[in-house]
Structure 1
Amino acid sequence: MPDEFDSGDELFDGIDLAKLEDPDYGDDLFDGLDEAELVKLESPTQTPAQPGKRSYDNGAIVVNAFPSLKRQKSSQPTSLEVNNTEHLALAERLLSEKFGYKSFRHEQAGAIQRILAGQNTLVVFPTGAGKSLCYQIPAIAFPELDKAEGLRASGKSGVTIVVSPLIALMKDQVDALQKRGIAADCIDSTKKYEQTQLIYASLQKGQLRILYCAPERLDNEGFVERLKEIPGGIRLLAVDEAHCISEWGHSFRPDYLKVARFVDELKAERVVCLTATATPKVAADICKAFNIQKECVFQTSPYRPNLHLHAQPVETRYDDISHFIELVRTGDPHINDKRFEEMFRFLRNHPGPSLVYVAVQAQAEHLADALRDQGFNAAPFHAGMKTEDKQTIQEKFMASEIEIVCATIAFGMGIDKPNIRNIIHWDMSNTVEEYSQQIGRAGRDGLPSRCMFYLTADAFYMREVFARGDLPSRQCLRALLEDIFKQGAGLSVGGVFKVSHYSQSGEFDIRPSPLSIIYATLDLHFGLIRAITPEYAKYQFEAYAKYLALKHDKTPEGKAIFSHAVKKAKYYHIDVNKAAQATGLARNDIVRKLNHLGDNAYLKLQTSGIEHRYRILKKLPKTDKEIDAVLDKLYADLKAREKEALLRAYQIMDLITGRKCFARALAEHFGMNLRDGKSECGHCTFCLTGKPVRHLPRPRRETTAASIQEVLKATNVRDDPRFLARVAFGIKSPRVTKLRLDKHRVFRSLADHDFEALVLEFEKVCRVSTGNSGSLSRSSVKAEVIDLT
């Protein structure tokens, strides 16, 4: 069942996991992750501009770059000495011939000139402003530059690699480029073996100009080795959604930190980082990681003057947050929530295609029903829906067959509908960056569009739930570290061990996202381990009629499969490791053969049990003192992340309730000012009223001994005070779900209390119960739920 709060993470959406283990398919476990927080790079609607003139657009950031990587120069010659005028002329011709635009806009021309001159570059443009052209134009320009310079032979102009986080976005870009006659492709987990081999062949022949891949694929050793063999090398590495590299950004993904390391390993000639949302701090992180100088930072304002930003405080009459959630789930909250009548009035006064953003999946369904009851053409959209249903809704919205979509943050990727007239925030956005992305989907045709933000007393609660949920207890983190280091015990440096993230998440009560951050930190900050291509633990298949022909297969792999597969009921089961050991074959060769047989209808392959693999980089901690040293640093880092997440939630609240023009506050968040020297937009709520939006106070209750005892009666867990506080506050975790406490009446019973105060109260109880601070054992997670009535 999907989580009640919709993060938008659809871990395996559109992924053929049967391809995961093959070294030519790579580590795509998280291809398609975090759709909710990432933005498609659409082709811009071009308008006349003066290309090539450098400007900082009234207050663009100036970043102090601190090189953290020593660039290894490629042995291939570069175009550093070519005249910039010639570069610009070539870029403008390709823009017209390949993309049909007469001129560049904003800072595109300046960024492209820097890239063609061989310099690492950062591009920060708002959604829809044409970031993708900043790497597409150079990618197709390289062969012509090489020919003009006479320094490279034909077919040795290398390739542009685009690191992009979503399969859907990669495919959209590739389809658009191929329609324009540009040789582009992507390697992802949906590709069949034969398709992937054709892509590699095109790379070797110098026929492919642009190749897209997910950042996680760079963990795949086989894939990286293939890239090293490309004639002409990697001319340009484009890092899409580059804000994900910042550990303090709003959408940090650990695998992005590894991209900078691979720039050196692949000997990429130059890098371009692209994002729609980079604060000065995040931009500085990007520049530091990729050695980008301040003159190579190109940024334009995130605000568009045709967007009218509004906010309105709305009263809700709930006994507490539990009452509100329960009504959303099971009842009719209309009579308790004035947002309904306000939304109906707003949409009647401002008709047109609209998006209504909510935080809870049930809300998306309920609001769509309520709007239909009022005669609006509306539909819900959230991560818990079937993929085909979501696709249908998105297509109908794009075709104007559906006018209003009530959606969680899972909706928005790939949406390039120019005439969206309204964006409504039913609930508070997670961050200013997310708010900026979402309102940026309105009014791309340049016509006036309205963005309404409803503010309630409980607005901050759901944001706090997300922020608090990712910090594990100290006991859980120590138990995890002990388990990780135990896996590598007895192995020398260079040895490889396997772990199941899924099992560890449940056993040590750590969500998948912070778990991946912990592993990345042990790699990148401590230098202890390094991720390599993961494997599946189990293979089984349903045999088709052609399968029996395998007994005549003369290949060693075919013979190994036929002799080691054991039929149990409907399915054949094969232990790939045992088959490899018995025959002396490489495990990957047997897996490749299984994939090939599946692709050619000999069998229907099923896999399960992802095992992540890590290579030991140096001696792992063994003693308590050594483990505690890692624990102290790691836990302090995770606590700082929680603080940052809460701060980002306060920032969006400050933007809406502050004594400042909304548009100006938004621009200043990204280190900029409004365009044309303006100090106010003139048409946001603050500008129209001259008053800040009133923040309705949320009543807080004092914690009582009786309320604490009610939670304690529900479970015998006494080893983890933070776990007990989560239950009381209403935060799900693997352990909470496993013990079914999220179904118990005490779950979220103290949601109107201060979370930190709850932790302190439960710490007192745990100290009394255990006689010390308590430690998590493997058996403790098996604690039982008591008093389920």
Structure 2
Amino acid sequence: MATDYQSAISSTLQRIFGYDRLRPGQEAVISAVVAGRSAAAIFPTGSGKSLCYQLPALLLPHLTLVVSPLLALMQDQLSFLNSRGVAAASIDSAQSREEASAVMAGVRRGEIKVLMISVERLKNERFREFIAQVPISLMVIDEAHCISEWGHNFRPDYLKLPDYQRQFAIPQALLLTATATPQVIADMQTRFAIAADDVIMTGFYRANLNLLIEPVASDDKQHRLVEWLSPRLQEGQEQPSIVYVTQQQSAEQLATMLTHHGLNACAYHAGLPAETRDTIQHQFMAGEVACIVATIAFGMGIDKADIRNVVHFDLPKSVENYSQEIGRAGRDGRPSDCLVLANRDALNVLENFVYGDTPERDGIRRVLEEIAAVQDGSGECRWELMLTALSQHSNIRPLPLKTLLVQLELRGVIAPRFSYFAEYRFKYLRDPEALIAMFEGERQRFVQLIVETSNRARTWCSLDFDALYRRGLESGVNAERSRVVSALEYFNDKGWVVLESKRMTEVYAVTPTPLDIDALSDDLHGYFKSKEESEIARLNAMLALFESDTCLSHRLARYFGDMQAPERCGHCSVCHGHVARLPSPAPLPPLESQSFVELCDQIIERYQAAFEGQVPGVDLLTRYLCGITAPLFTRLKARQSKGFSRLEAYPYAEVRQWVSVHLTGDQ
């Protein structure tokens, strides 16, 4: 039987993909999947993880469902599969209703072998009902480290994937990632019941990457960057290079500075229009732009083999991020340089990103009180929420708020049902009377009701769903909200109207069991605090790596559980005799020299005016002083207050203690 598997694998590899042999690790993973077992492929960036599902998808009897975190990753892989004649498609937010329906019909007929979706798609109850009726052989989870709360780039919705695997009776799963520590691997393995022998690691050591850590004071960084890049970006001999920074503004400033020095550089970040980003990426891939100065928005899905230099102008967010970002260099196997211009100046800023994602206990309690308010003891109750409004009400940032909602799902408190837009508006591209005349009978009366009950301003028409429904009852026409929305989406797809929607509302079922709000608040707050400690430990691990007095390549590989890397690579800065000691920032005046009243009186007054004389908590004031954004700060116009971010250079814990002393008198 194994021989039959190997024969089919070898034949498909050559016939469809045009390869003579598999890379290290690919054969073990593909053999396990084709034999019907779940597996995990933990390969460095650029080592061919995608083939581990693409080839088995052609040999398994039913659909392969691929969950991917990024649309760009999906489109690149779909283009590759379609170029090989493999029937693959995606359902994503960029598609029209008709396009998505066509894909679903192809899946039902068994014509599509690979379907790619984002994890958020599984929150849609209609999609879950559809996919539950489709035979699925394999669930593939790309960037699978996102499933672990102890991994980087944690995505809360990934936590529900094991439940979805059981719900849809999918017999096996394949997990793909380039960055997973032993703890994250164990987490992945447990959640998906993967045998130890089917967790395949090919090692993290890259013999062609020169890891260089250079201590540089902040004032000298730009000069050193120009000095280091200039010979690498000489006109006519430009080496493809990426410079990573933390903030969008820094990307713009550095790119302008490098251009001023005659270097062919361009900024790339998430704040740019999508068309601009696409153009810059195309120019970089084509060699028209030699150097990209980018936030971490750049790189995912970039398949450029000859990137020779990766520079971290700012500290990366973690060892995992560092490994992923340098992994974009030297995929062609040729020597490539990876430089970190390192100091500790921005360390507090990185820590503040972490502290800003830990909700206050009072915020968690407000969310639980919202849920308790809809419980009436009569069975399943419904809770409707708008994420932005709930974020403002609870003062919890959107991403940790999503994490909180998933934790409540996992605890059985809530369950997702569906989502809808609370508001719709449209403008006619075809005369309303002509639109009505296109239909007959009951459908014509239905369309006429939409036209008659829509409130038309100069250009746009707004909908009153309640009035429309009542008019429908009076005239014997089904004018339920779902039918009206479907009709408008159809008109939009046909080009008869332009439809806009806003105020996404999510609907959850709520357990009838009364909540112990105090105990649950403590439990969930403790969960977030443990995540906070884990993230701070991750930052410390990164600093320890950069200041290591042992081979950097060896230490990086060990971080990811790879014990096979050489003890001395011979091509990192430590092996060259340069142990880094990162410069500390200039000493700051003691916090005792700061005036609490001067920094905080304005925001305290605004808070008391907004909340009937209540005093803000210690964490809220600490975030304000450290410049950590919070939803409530928009309402309070905190950024315009004199104390906002004034203490951002100080460690969060020290500022919190100082605030606590002044606010409560605690020592």
Task: Classify the TM-score, shorter chain.
Answer: over 0.9
Partner of 1:89: 7
Whichever residue aligns with residue 464 of structure 1, its letter is: E
Structure-2 separation of matches of 1:646 and 1:578: 54
Contact 1:475–1:720 (CA<8 Å) still a contact in 2?
no
Question: How far is the alpha carbon of 1:502 from its aligned partner?
Answer: 0.2
Contact 1:313–1:693 (CA<8 Å) still a contact in 2?
yes
**Which residue of the other structure, out of 677, 693, 703, is the alignment partner of 2:580?**
693
Partner of 2:481: 587
**Percent of residue pairs bearing the same amino acid type:** 34
1:139 to 2:57 alignment: yes
Aligned residues: CA RMSD: 1.8
1:103 to 2:13 alignment: no
**Which residue of the other structure, out of 559, 563, 569, is the alignment partner of 1:669?**
559
**Which residue of the other structure, out of 633, 643, 656, is the alignment partner of 2:546?**
656
Partner of 2:395: 509
Contact 2:600–2:643 (CA<8 Å) still a contact in 1?
no
Give the 3-state SS of the residue equivalent to 1:545 in structure 2. Answer: coil
1:349 to 2:231 alignment: yes
Contact 1:702–1:753 (CA<8 Å) still a contact in 2?
no
Structure-1 separation of matches of 2:663 and 2:10: 68
Give the 3-state SS of the residue equivalent to 1:282 in structure 2. Answer: helix
Question: How far is the alpha carbon of 1:251 from its aligned partner?
Answer: 1.2
Contact 1:711–1:724 (CA<8 Å) still a contact in 2?
no
Whichever residue aligns with residue 479 of structure 1, its letter is: R
Whichever residue aligns with residue 40 of structure 2, its letter is: L
Change (3 A) 1:370 1:674: farther
Contact 1:476–1:509 (CA<8 Å) still a contact in 2?
yes
Contact 2:375–2:512 (CA<8 Å) still a contact in 1?
no
Whichever residue aligns with residue 175 of structure 1, its letter is: S
Whichever residue aligns with residue 495 of structure 1, its letter is: C
1:574 to 2:459 alignment: no
Question: How far is the alpha carbon of 1:674 from its aligned partner?
Answer: 4.0
Give the 3-state SS of the residue equivalent to 1:535 in structure 2. Answer: strand
Larger relative contact order (C-alpha < 8 A, sep ≥ 6)?
A: 1
Give the 3-state SS of the residue equivalent to 1:385 in structure 2. Answer: coil
Change (3 A) 1:627 1:753: same
Once the two structures are superposed, residues 260-312 of structure 1 have per-residue CA deviations (whole angstroms, 9 ceiling, x without a partner) of 10111111121111111111111111111111110110111223110000011
Contact 2:146–2:158 (CA<8 Å) still a contact in 1?
yes
Change (3 A) 1:167 1:727: same
Q: Identify which range, 491-500 or 381-390, moves more after superposition.
A: 491-500
Whichever residue aligns with residue 747 of structure 1, its letter is: F
**Which residue of the other structure, out of 152, 155, 175, is the alignment partner of 1:253?**
155
**Which residue of the other structure, out of 55, 78, 88, is the alignment partner of 1:184?**
88
1:630 to 2:520 alignment: yes
Partner of 2:212: 310
Structure-1 separation of matches of 2:479 and 2:175: 42
Partner of 1:538: 423
Once the two structures are superposed, residues 476-496 of structure 1 have per-residue CA deviations (whole angstroms, 9 ceiling, x without a partner) of 22223212322x233743332
TM-score, with normalisation over the residues of structure 1? Answer: 0.79
Partner of 1:443: 330
Partner of 2:596: 708
Partner of 1:228: 132
Partner of 1:197: 101
Once the two structures are superposed, residues 377-419 of structure 1 have per-residue CA deviations (whole angstroms, 9 ceiling, x without a partner) of 1111111111111111111111111111111111112211111
Which aligned pairs between 1:633-648 and structure 2 lie closer than 5 A?
633-648=523-538
Partner of 1:326: none
Count how many residue pairs are aligned between Structure 1 and Structure 2.
Answer: 642
Change (3 A) 1:401 1:297: same
Contact 2:216–2:582 (CA<8 Å) still a contact in 1?
no
Give the 3-state SS of the residue equivalent to 2:575 in structure 1. Answer: helix
Question: How far is the alpha carbon of 1:541 from its aligned partner?
Answer: 0.5
Partner of 2:358: 471
Partner of 2:41: 123
Structure-2 separation of matches of 1:570 and 1:586: 25
Contact 1:470–1:514 (CA<8 Å) still a contact in 2?
yes
Partner of 1:339: 221
Question: How far is the alpha carbon of 1:590 from its aligned partner?
Answer: 2.4
Question: How far is the alpha carbon of 1:531 from its aligned partner?
Answer: 1.8
Change (3 A) 1:670 1:126: same
Q: Identify which range, 599-608 or 164-173, moves more after superposition.
A: 164-173
Q: Identify which range, 666-675 or 507-516, moves more after superposition.
A: 666-675
Give structure 1 regions of 4+ aligned residues with deviation exceeding 4 angstroms.
580-586
Question: How far is the alpha carbon of 1:458 from its aligned partner?
Answer: 0.5
Partner of 1:729: 626
Unaligned runs of 5+ in 1: 1-82, 143-156, 317-336, 773-789
Whichever residue aligns with residue 742 of structure 1, its letter is: R
Question: How far is the alpha carbon of 1:252 from its aligned partner?
Answer: 1.0
Structure-1 separation of matches of 2:639 and 2:549: 40
Once the two structures are superposed, residues 300-344 of structure 1 have per-residue CA deviations (whole angstroms, 9 ceiling, x without a partner) of 12231100000111113xxxxxxxxxxxxxxxxxxxx21112111
Change (3 A) 1:700 1:84: farther
Change (3 A) 1:563 1:493: farther
Partner of 2:451: 562
Change (3 A) 1:277 1:409: same
Contact 1:359–1:462 (CA<8 Å) still a contact in 2?
no
Structure-1 separation of matches of 2:84 and 2:633: 52
Structure-2 separation of matches of 1:307 and 1:600: 53
Unaligned runs of 5+ in 2: 234-238, 608-614
Once the two structures are superposed, residues 127-177 of structure 1 have per-residue CA deviations (whole angstroms, 9 ceiling, x without a partner) of 1111111111111112xxxxxxxxxxxxxx321110111122112211211
Whichever residue aligns with residue 241 of structure 1, its letter is: E
Which aligned pairs between 1:9-20 and structure 2 lie closer than 5 A?
none
Question: How far is the alpha carbon of 1:242 from its aligned partner?
Answer: 0.9
Contact 1:123–1:274 (CA<8 Å) still a contact in 2?
yes
Whichever residue aligns with residue 176 of structure 2, its letter is: L
Give the 3-state SS of the residue equivalent to 1:211 in structure 2. Answer: strand
Contact 2:348–2:652 (CA<8 Å) still a contact in 1?
no
Give the 3-state SS of the residue equivalent to 1:522 in structure 2. Answer: helix
